[in-house]
Structure 1
């Protein structure tokens, strides 16, 4: 009954009169990129070709509620890859470049796929594909603090047997982070009260084994099954030597252990049904996440050690059943989708302090354990149609109902109904210009961890759980304009404005607590340009510059002062510049990149802090594209010594009515990073 009500709510809003036949419209222009045009980059996979498309920004699938509408602007054979294990981008990294027939860049509103806007890359694969595999090994080494990252890479093989296409893959998504140097603490009068020398390093490895099966038939039916299993490890080491003005020197050691595993099952099956096609999708995600974080302070005076241990044994689950029915009515593409999703978190948290004998003794930890669950139903109806003269329209309407509750608590379940939908217009007046405009009503995502207490040991800050948290909702307007520069390249400009209700930020909880919660209203305005400049017309063939520049102004009213301020932790400016020169008539390429990412302050009730690295990271590389059939690349990262910066002001109580206790300033070394890459096919 809920699904039927949502379906009727969506279909009642659709302009069914648009189904009437009208005069034929001009065909929407599309850009076609042939594999031969990208041979100079020596690509090994379909993804290698995709990342070289001029003026195209890859948008990975956002972690929306359930599967919902499409957000990834990449398709394979005109179809959305509807899963949460990497989507089309992940699949393309396992498809051999030789199996790509072409890439088409088309306007999203012409595709009949709900949720997309702007330009979309549609990768068309050859009908007869060769069996084969790809591999990549990409170790990196930091000059300071961190352990070598030796195992990052991937291996995959695709083939066909008994009418079933299969892909086997193994990947280690390994990462390393490390900083070191001084942390300076100043009193309210500006005098230095403490200096700490820190060494921090973090090693993460997520090994994913995946099997993907695809089959056709009977008839025009087709289906896919993807099975994935991922153990992961994420240890943290953080050691500080502490030198205080009062002579109470000592050390602090923080160790964190996270050894977990997760599995994913995704399946879909599509077949002809009545005048259209029905697609059913199932998804199951399970994540076992046991975390132990221990912090111990030792004193040169011989005083007993002080310490805290936070343990969290969590199980995160998501189960989705979705159906999509699509058919044509005249020149209209119509789709009805129904979805049921169940998300859950079961956390068993504990807190302990170190006693004088050196043993950790449990202490009360209210709000640290619990079960959070949300059951959600969504119904959407989407209409897509050409309007003539290069115009395309897409209109989607519907809504969701959800029940959100602390299963083991004494609060009554909360039930919500939220309307959702979008209106997208695309226009291509000629082959050199394209424009799109999108108006959307969206419901955002929340983290169930924020419903429960999550202390921050390093900052000595207690983040209370918030059982009243709700997902944010927003009215969003986005506009994109693209311009081809012919042989000189391509440029695009995207601008957006979001009016957000129930924005997620830091809020008061109880008489003196704080944690993640909702503030009534916020706004976000931003612009981003994406350009590719080809240097051949300037006399440097084989060279190009890819540039992405953007900024965002995000504003929310502070819950303590009532003044407008940035949304906590919002990225407010960014830049990526990538220069590459493939030397003509040779197998060599070289290049350099520069990147900047800047974030606004985190505004808590008892402190304000801001963390950034940079300001600019600059890298340089040299590549040989044929060493016994392999591509070899050497890169030196952070050659101009970008650093880690952290500024923090801590107050005795709530910052609007309490005195300052201290200020913290970190200016720490990151150092150069050396990366070697070996890539090939077999």
Structure 2
């Protein structure tokens, strides 16, 4: 049975029987033409906070904000009191999770092109909330796995919100903890199909990221508003992998991998908006810093007593980002905005590589290009105009560009300057009641990962990047059509079609005669569709039940820089399907349901190998929820019930250009069932 057939069978079985609320002192009136939901529409779910409500809006799919260069124009599709969040670490979804459900006035689903916020398109959720007295919420989410992983007991969050005179505030403490693990066999075959080696490995990773956050909002009697947010986070990650390797004619070997990450980050940002002339001026500032040192050690010991071999890689990278932005907007035959932004990004990185000598001492070895400083100064200016053309048609046009200066000190660095046009044109059309259509054409400049400029090694997977000081940001032309159909009592469905042309796409390219690293390829294309729906089952007699469905297909093409052949973009998502069932049992405070999901990615293409590392093929879970037990919400989830595994299928070549194969790797590691429990409440 094929993977898609197994997924279809599973679907058939399952579907049988940071800124505080002061961004507006008083919630805005209901917007004509918006699809509006009030707290009464979510009563059956017994939500604890605004995010719980938003996640139950029929047919609406939350899109995370894209991490743009600097702050840039708005991305994502969620607003709070009609405003975007002018931060990075403290995203709007985290903020919604700290707003008690009692403070939510309504949720509006609007078309992005009808808003006076540049960059938004398609369905956008505006969560309208009011400030109240002191209130709080909390959640604890322990998790247990049957194999390879210790219990995770430290994931949770607590927040307090309130208002005093013209000040609103939210204080939060959370730990984004995650424990994971897998284990099983790997077979290594020679090019002729004979067995070269068998490996049995087991690994576990423990990640804890406690974070303190605070947001303050102020609103003056003259209509001026100000917001301030700050966060501080520690990062703890430990990875342990142990394995045994045997094979015909080979000495048995025990291999140990250890990785440790200890770091921290902080962010401070704010904005101040006030009336100026016939419009309003908003000034925004942000300062972000991250230090993330990583230590990885791999050692192999032999059963015949031969000296152990090992390697150690140490990397300490310090990232800094500073942003100053101004936005001036006014109305004159439509909505106008002029914006200007300066952003400074810097990476100071030190990398060291060591090899274990026969005496058991780690000796340093050269790692050219591993230590350097990368900086970028970027200036952006944009002008945006939007207006309603008719009762059923509106548009938004944004044009501008950016100038950036990239420099690298050390590692063969150099300095370069770029000028890039940017812009967006979108049209929102309502051809008939219950149908909304949005078309958008956008020119986007992508964000580079500064670590890609520098040499690095992956000791566990025996891969290395040579570093590439010649990297330039990719630029993308994006054309998108999205149609949203209201099905009345039956729910809602959304179809999105898109096509992209990417210039200077970042993929793995040859460096020198034998090296490889992320680099630019002249051009690539990407085309796809997404179809997402919510179907309420009350009209067919199953009261309190609903189905959430999603399917997507994508095709990409890029010319391989090594062979010259057309192939997919490395690791590009090619297809996925998801189904979620939730049944809120009428006249009770019980709910149950489940989810199944499938996804498939393209292979990764490197200088000497082609492979696919993934988990699946199908994930499945069931849950049961008590929505009100003495004021608490309790939920138990049994995950990975369809036995998804961790896999890596790759072919390693002597030379991929000419075709001779060195070996073929076939890895299957068991993950096992995942059991999680959550208890949440308010105070």
**For this structure pair, what is the TM-score category when the shorter chain's length is used for normalisation?**
over 0.9
Partner of residue 35, structure 1: 39
CA distance in 1, matches of 2:661, 2:263: 40
Partner of residue 164, structure 2: 161
Q: Output one character per residue of 1:358-403: Cα deviation in whole Å (capped at 9) or x when no partner.
A: 1100011111100000000000000010010410100000000000
CA distance in 1, matches of 2:353, 2:494: 51
Q: Output one character per residue of 1:317-366: Cα deviation in whole Å (capped at 9) or x when no partner.
A: 11100000010003x00001100000110001100000111110001111
CA distance in 2, matches of 1:29, 1:430: 12
Whether the 8 Å contact between 1:590 and 1:623 is mirrored in structure 2 is yes
Whether the 8 Å contact between 1:186 and 1:194 is mirrored in structure 2 is yes
Aligned pair partner of 1:619 in 621, 632, 653? 621
Aligned pair partner of 2:57 in 53, 58, 77? 53
Whether the 8 Å contact between 2:139 and 2:157 is mirrored in structure 1 is yes
SS in structure 1 opposite 2:113? Answer: helix
Whether the 8 Å contact between 1:389 and 1:429 is mirrored in structure 2 is no
CA distance in 2, matches of 1:665, 1:209: 43
Q: Are 1:144 and 2:147 counterparts?
A: yes
Partner of residue 9, structure 1: none
CA distance in 2, matches of 1:612, 1:658: 25
- Within 5 A, what are the aligned runs for 1:61-460? 61-126=65-130, 128-217=131-220, 219-330=222-333, 332-408=334-410, 411-460=413-462
Whether the 8 Å contact between 1:651 and 1:658 is mirrored in structure 2 is yes
CA distance in 1, matches of 2:553, 2:89: 29
For structure 1, list consecutive stretches of 5 or more residues without a partner in the other structure. Answer: 1-26
Alpha-carbon distance, 1:411 to partner: 4.4
Partner of residue 525, structure 2: 523
CA distance in 1, matches of 2:186, 2:411: 42
Alpha-carbon distance, 1:28 to partner: 6.1
Partner of residue 17, structure 2: none
Partner of residue 656, structure 1: 657
SS in structure 1 opposite 2:75? Answer: coil
SS in structure 2 opposite 1:618? Answer: strand
Whether the 8 Å contact between 2:553 and 2:576 is mirrored in structure 1 is yes
CA distance in 2, matches of 1:460, 1:125: 51
Q: Output one character per residue of 1:470-522: Cα deviation in whole Å (capped at 9) or x when no partner.
A: 11001110110011111011100001100000011010101111010000010
CA distance in 2, matches of 1:596, 1:670: 16
For structure 2, list consecutive stretches of 5 or more residues without a partner in the other structure. Answer: 1-30
Whether the 8 Å contact between 1:28 and 1:390 is mirrored in structure 2 is no
CA distance in 2, matches of 1:568, 1:667: 21
CA distance in 2, matches of 1:382, 1:230: 36
Whether the 8 Å contact between 2:508 and 2:605 is mirrored in structure 1 is yes
CA distance in 1, matches of 2:95, 2:501: 34
Whether the 8 Å contact between 2:90 and 2:231 is mirrored in structure 1 is no
Whether the 8 Å contact between 1:213 and 1:224 is mirrored in structure 2 is yes
CA distance in 2, matches of 1:483, 1:461: 48
Whether the 8 Å contact between 2:493 and 2:534 is mirrored in structure 1 is yes
The 1:42–1:287 alpha-carbon spacing in structure 2 relative to 1, beyond 3 Å, is same
Partner of residue 565, structure 1: 567
Q: Output one character per residue of 1:583-640: Cα deviation in whole Å (capped at 9) or x when no partner.
A: 0000100001011122110000111110121111100011111111000011100112
CA distance in 2, matches of 1:615, 1:639: 12
SS in structure 1 opposite 2:121? Answer: coil
Partner of residue 24, structure 1: none
Alpha-carbon distance, 1:410 to partner: 5.8
Alpha-carbon distance, 1:648 to partner: 1.1
The 1:218–1:359 alpha-carbon spacing in structure 2 relative to 1, beyond 3 Å, is farther
CA distance in 2, matches of 1:384, 1:222: 24
SS in structure 1 opposite 2:124? Answer: strand
Alpha-carbon distance, 1:656 to partner: 1.3
The 1:411–1:291 alpha-carbon spacing in structure 2 relative to 1, beyond 3 Å, is closer
CA distance in 2, matches of 1:675, 1:130: 33
CA distance in 2, matches of 1:234, 1:210: 21
Alpha-carbon distance, 1:88 to partner: 1.8
Whether the 8 Å contact between 1:28 and 1:428 is mirrored in structure 2 is no
The 1:29–1:430 alpha-carbon spacing in structure 2 relative to 1, beyond 3 Å, is farther
Q: With the length of structure 1 as denominator, give the TM-score of the two structures.
A: 0.94
Alpha-carbon distance, 1:657 to partner: 2.1
Q: Output one character per residue of 1:22-53: Cα deviation in whole Å (capped at 9) or x when no partner.
A: xxxxx962111011011100100000000000
CA distance in 1, matches of 2:91, 2:177: 20
Alpha-carbon distance, 1:412 to partner: 3.8
Q: Are 1:589 and 2:599 counterparts?
A: no
Whether the 8 Å contact between 2:370 and 2:411 is mirrored in structure 1 is no
Alpha-carbon distance, 1:549 to partner: 1.1
Q: Output one character per residue of 1:509-560: Cα deviation in whole Å (capped at 9) or x when no partner.
A: 0111101000001000010011000000111010001111111111100112
Alpha-carbon distance, 1:575 to partner: 1.9
CA distance in 2, matches of 1:85, 1:575: 30
CA distance in 2, matches of 1:218, 1:101: 22
- Aligned residue pairs total 653
